[in-house]
Amino acid sequence: MKELIVASTNQGKLKEIRAMLKDINIEVLSMKDVLNEEIDIEETGTTFKENALIKASTIAKIVNKPVLADDSGLEVDALDKQPGVYSARFLGHDTSYDIKNQYIIDALKDKDRTARFVCAMALVIPGQEPIIIEETMEGLINDKIEGENGFGYDPIFYFPPCKMTSAMMSMEEKNKHSHRAKALKKLYAILKEMD
């Protein structure tokens, strides 16, 4: 495999994936690199795995090349695992993460703060069975927004082993502990075997 297309327009996600796969001789491309138009994929799955597979399969059919898609989000136990698969659309697509993050902090006053980031990855290679990986990063919802790194819910996700939020971690720390990093490590091993 020479090229891997990532079914995402999220620059933060692309940066993390490129960093984790840089040692393998595979060019990681975004959808913008290979498609002239923006494709709006309806994520109709009820799980992260289903949504990742929907995204990867849709793009793989169009480009007829290996495609990696990830569906990830935040599950907050006291909110019945919300925002979950609706993490990006939580409180409305155009709502800023500052507002989403503050809403979650406020909703957890005097409640259990356990939460996790979930990352499901689907690798679709035309003519082969899809490969699906799911990993988590267990933590707590912080009582305030903290940190400048990362994106999305990173500033409110407190990771006890590092005693900081995900948004306070360096890229090196994140690539050791994050849900996406763990899934990418498994993917890395699979891709290395294929090489």
**Catalytic residue chosen out of the listed positions 33, 70, 71, 143:** 71
Element spanning 39, H or E: none
From first to last of its 195 residues, what are the pLDDT tens digits of the chain?
Answer: 789 999 987 787 888 788 888 888 888 998 888 887 778 888 899 999 999 999 999 999 999 999 999 999 999 999 999 999 999 899 998 999 999 999 999 999 999 999 999 999 999 999 999 999 999 999 999 999 999 988 899 999 999 999 999 999 998 898 889 998 899 999 989 888 886
As given in the structure block, the two tokens for residue 131 are: 């490969």
Q: Which residues contact 119 (CB under 8 A, 6 or more apart)?
A: 48, 70, 71, 72, 134, 135, 136, 178, 179, 180, 182, 183
Is 71 labeled as catalytic in the residue annotation?
A: yes
pTM equals 0.89
- Cα 97 to Cα 103: distance, rounded to the nearest angstrom: 9
Question: DSSP letter at 95?
Answer: S
- Enumerate the known binding-site residues for substrate: 8-13, 72, 151-154, 174, 179-180
- Give the start-to-end residue ranges of the domains of the chain: 3-194
**Which residues 6+ apart lie within 8 Å of 42 measured at CB?**
54
Annotated binding-site residue numbers: 8-13, 42, 71-72, 151-154, 174, 179-180
CATH, domain 3-194, list 3.90.950.10, 3.40.50.10420, 3.40.640.10, 3.40.50.300: 3.90.950.10
Residue 3 has phi, psi (to 5 degrees) of -125, 145
Residues annotated within a binding site for Mg(2+):
42, 71
The amino acid sitting at 106 is D
- In 3D space, the residue among 163, 179, 175, 185 whose CA is nearest the CA of residue 116 turns out to be 179
Q: What angle do CA 79, 110, 117 make, to 5 degrees?
A: 40
